[in-house]
């Protein structure tokens, strides 16, 4: 493999890691193996620390392909708790309000999900990396400041109810770049005349790359340690 000329790695990002954590670990392994001090390593499509799954990592000149790679549709499996909300729309923050769920049935959920199929408008979460006047929204939100974000136009190609329980649902979502599943959980809760927040998220596909194509972080580190390395002609 020629990591300087450019390679594309398919990684199953672990729960609890930031996307930067994964890139840092891979970059460190590459620098040690190549015996160099600097190498471009990037990723296509950020995953929150509380999410796991497919993350595409690029090295060397392949980092120029990031925009193209992250443009592919994404597939997620999301677990959503009903009847409660959090400021971050996930488990990063504590529950701030509770709502009734006795009226929620499987049929009601399936009907609500239909509203989110196709082209939709979505307001990003305040706890997100969206920039407002050059500042990250999450920096402002974590300091308790009001965050006003404009809705974005997105496309949800597929949304399917996989499992239903009185206070929890599991859905499969196929969507365009820039979709916040946390915000989708918020909006589903509102559509059900209740509240909701994301409790688990796994990205199962980016473009044509699925979980089955991915290596764990440890497997990537072992690959870097043992694979035959090529160097560019000019090296």
Question: DSSP letter at 213?
Answer: G
3-state helix, strand, coil in the chain (%, to 5): 30, 35, 40
Which single residue is written with the structure tokens 């929150």? 48
Which of 12, 21, 48, 139 is labelled catalytic?
48
- Which has the closest alpha carbon to 221: 87, 68, 22? 22
- Which has the closest alpha carbon to 189: 169, 160, 163? 169
Supply 167's token pair: 């206070």
Known catalytic residue at 157: no
Quote the CA–CA distance of 135 and 137 in Å, as a whole number: 6
Q: How many C-beta atoms lie closer than 10 Å to residue 202's C-beta?
A: 18
Quote the CA–CA distance of 226 and 235 in Å, as a whole number: 21
Q: Which residues are catalytic?
A: 48
């Amino acid at each position: 493999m020629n990591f300087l000329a450019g390679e594309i790695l398919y990684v199953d990002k672990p729960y609890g890691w930031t996307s930067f954590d994964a890139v840092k670990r891979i970059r460190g392994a590459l620098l040690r193996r190549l015996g160099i001090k600097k190498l471009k390593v990037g990723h296509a499509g950020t995953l929150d620390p509380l999410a796991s799954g497919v993350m595409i990592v690029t090295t060397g000149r392949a980092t120029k392909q990031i925009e193209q790679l992250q443009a592919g549709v994404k597939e997620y499996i999301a677990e959503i708790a009903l009847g409660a909300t959090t400021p971050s729309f996930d488990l990063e923050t504590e529950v701030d309000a509770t709502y009734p769920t006795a009226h929620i049935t499987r049929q009601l959920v399936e009907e609500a999900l239909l509203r989110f199929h196709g082209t939709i408008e979505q307001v990003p979460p305040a706890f997100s990396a969206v920039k407002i006047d050059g500042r990250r929204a999450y920096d402002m939100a974590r300091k308790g400041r009001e965050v006003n974000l404009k809705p974005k136009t997105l496309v949800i190609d597929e949304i399917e109810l996989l499992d239903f329980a009185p206070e929890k649902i599991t859905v499969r979502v196929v969507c365009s770049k820039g979709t916040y599943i946390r915000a989708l959980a918020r909006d589903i809760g509102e559509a059900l005349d209740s509240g909701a927040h994301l409790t688990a998220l796994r990205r199962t596909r980016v473009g044509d790359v699925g979980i089955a194509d991915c290596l764990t972080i440890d497997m990537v580190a072992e690959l870097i340690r043992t694979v035959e390395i090529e160097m560019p002609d000019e090296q």
